[in-house]
Structure 1
C-alpha cells in the first residue's frame, strides 16, 4: 500500500514538472501561445487516471498561481485576470475526463484513446475560449468579437494540438501497460 502511494506521488510530481516544462516549449502564434502543456496534461490523465491526472495538473495550476513562474507567460495570482488562464482550467478538467475515459486497461484501443483526447481537446478549447471572451469583454475591457476569438484562440492553435492528440494516444497506448506494471 505504501509503495502504491509513493508511486502515485512520484508520478503526480513528474507530470506536474512535465507540464511546467511544456509551458516553455513554445511555438509562436498570435494571442495564445502554442506550447506542449496540452500534450503533458493529456498524458497525465491517460497514464495516471482521472483523479491523479487532475491532481498533477491542478498542482501545476496551484504552483503557478502562488507565484512560481511556470505558466507560459509567468505566474502569480494576477494570472487569473489573464485571458488565457481558461486554458489552464481546461487542462485540469480535460485530464480528469480523459483519465476517467481510459482508466480500464482491458479493451483500451488507440481509437478509444483518441476519442478521449479529442473530448479533452474540446474541453480545453471550450473553457479557454469562454474564459478568454469573458475576461476580455467584461473584466479587463479589451473587447474581442466572436470571429477574432475563434480565429486566434482556436483556428490558429488547434492544428498543433490535434497533432498532439495523436502523439499522446500513441505514447499512452505504449506506456499505460508499463506504468500499470510498475
Structure 2
C-alpha cells in the first residue's frame, strides 16, 4: 500500500513538472501565445485519473503561487490577478473532469471515451478561463474590454487549435494509458 502511495506521489510530481515545462514550450499564434500546457493537462487527466490529475495541477499552481516562476509570465501570489490565471484553475478542474470521464469507462475505455473526455476538459478550461480574463481585465486591472473582444481574444482565436489537440491527444493517450497501467501494476507487484 505504501509503495502505491509513493508511486502516486511520483506521478503527480512528474505531471506537475511537465505542466511547468509545457508553459515554456510556445507555439506562436497571431493573437494569443499558445503553450503545450493544455496537452500535458489532457495527458494528466487521461493517464493519472481524476484525483491524481487534479493533484498534479494543484501542485503546479501552488508552486507557482509560492513564487517559483513556473507560469508563462512568472510566479508569485499576485499572479491570481493575471487574466490567464483562470486558465490555470481551468486546467485543474479540466484535468479532474477528463480523468473522471475516463474512469467511468470501465477497465478498457475506448478511444472515443478519451477523445470525448479531452473535449469535455477543453470546454471546462474555457468555461473557467475566458470569463476570468473578462473579469481580470475589467475589474482588477482596470483595462475596460468588451465581452466580444474577450470572446475573440480568449476563446475564438485558440479554441480550434485546442479542439484538434484534444482529439489527437485522446487518440494517443489511450495507448499510453494501457502501457503505463501495465507498468504500474508490474511496479506495484514487484515492490509488495
TM-score where L is the length of structure 2 = 0.90
Q: Show structure 2 runs of 5+ residues with no match.
A: 185-192
**Residue aligning to 2:26:** 26
For the 8 Å contact 2:42–2:121, the answer to whether it is kept is yes
For the 8 Å contact 1:33–1:72, the answer to whether it is kept is no
Give the Cα–Cα distance (whole angstroms) in 2 for the partners of residues 5 and 129 of structure 1.
35
Residue 161 to residue 74, structure 1, CA distance change in 2 (3 Å)? same
**Residue aligning to 2:144:** 143
TM-score where L is the length of structure 1 = 0.95
**Residue aligning to 1:9:** 9
Give the Cα–Cα distance (whole angstroms) in 1 for the partners of residues 157 and 62 of structure 2.
28
Residues 36-90 of structure 1, C-alpha deviation per residue, up to 9 Å, x if partnerless?
1011011111101000000001100110111111111111111101011000000
**Residue aligning to 1:81:** 81
Residue 32 to residue 63, structure 1, CA distance change in 2 (3 Å)? farther
| Structure 1 outlier segments of 4+, above 3 Å | 29-32
Aligned residues: CA RMSD: 1.3
**Residue aligning to 1:177:** 178
Q: Show structure 1 runs of 5+ residues with no match.
A: none
For the 8 Å contact 1:97–1:120, the answer to whether it is kept is yes
For the 8 Å contact 2:31–2:157, the answer to whether it is kept is no
Give the paired residue count.
182
For the 8 Å contact 1:31–1:153, the answer to whether it is kept is no
Residues 97-131 of structure 1, C-alpha deviation per residue, up to 9 Å, x if partnerless?
11011024524111111111111001111111111
Give the Cα–Cα distance (whole angstroms) in 2 for the partners of residues 60 and 167 of structure 1.
24
Give the Cα–Cα distance (whole angstroms) in 2 for the partners of residues 107 and 177 of structure 1.
8
For the 8 Å contact 1:26–1:34, the answer to whether it is kept is yes
